Structure 1
């Protein structure tokens, strides 16, 4: 009987652990309300979504310094910010990587990269890696388009920036642009989820 109780207790513990891990790692679904955050920008100031009083939404991009996929998309991310910031959808870039695992993604090198590329958007450091798991990001880059409403910032698109990471001139579908354009017209986003292509997040 005692052995049975021990085995049953272990089974329950495994079940709870598995449920907790799956719940934690799944991240947001479409129409979930995304949590706000307070993360340090490359200029040393802390940034939150709530700082943007006039924003209609956000293009949140999990990206980093070293990943070749992220580097390939840097110019396109800058263009997204230039195009949509004035329309109410600024880019907010977040580096989710642990610099102890990938030293090229340290906060100091983030500052260097942002200056080299002339980033027009905040480039925030997810210190302690507390934010990216809540979103469910797994790659760099991984994009979440949020729409601001009375209930908070709702997730309206999750995935890739477009359908060709290696050759911008060969892009056929601009997922993020299409999503934001639809939201600006008060229309439903047609393609809500795509597969993010990039490097795995270094935890």
Structure 2
């Protein structure tokens, strides 16, 4: 459970969360982002996203579509749960790298196959149905930016852009990557 920012100190936010029944404080870097910069980045990002349409990916040997679902996911973690302005800002600023990464990707870095409840139009109404979902991960360093691109495929449908995830950290003890929450549906 997330309790939100409880106090600000310099450029860090102190955040509390309950993990495994234990209250934990997190120190997160906060961007002091003027709202006009955010709005400008969001507007430019939306225009860019809508202009992309499809990108050929050599790994899949097919086109990846940039549809409404991907744009919605850049703005929202889940349905009716918006991302923070800082999170959206970073994703929209790096969005121009996504087509370039997909065009040059010949190697897949990760795959997750699971089942998720997906919204589906059935007989002029929307239902939520459990379907097999695959997430494909491409990682690249372009223009000094390290990013992950996530491609989503529902059942045997068309593959589409799902997310761009900026810089990830490393766990000092295990030397493993910390990839945001590690939940592709929300990351």
Tell me the TM-score normalised to structure 1 length: 0.25
More strand by share: 2
More helix by share: 1
Tell me the TM-score normalised to structure 2 length: 0.27
Q: Indicate the structure (1 or 2) with the bigger Cα radius of gyration.
A: 1
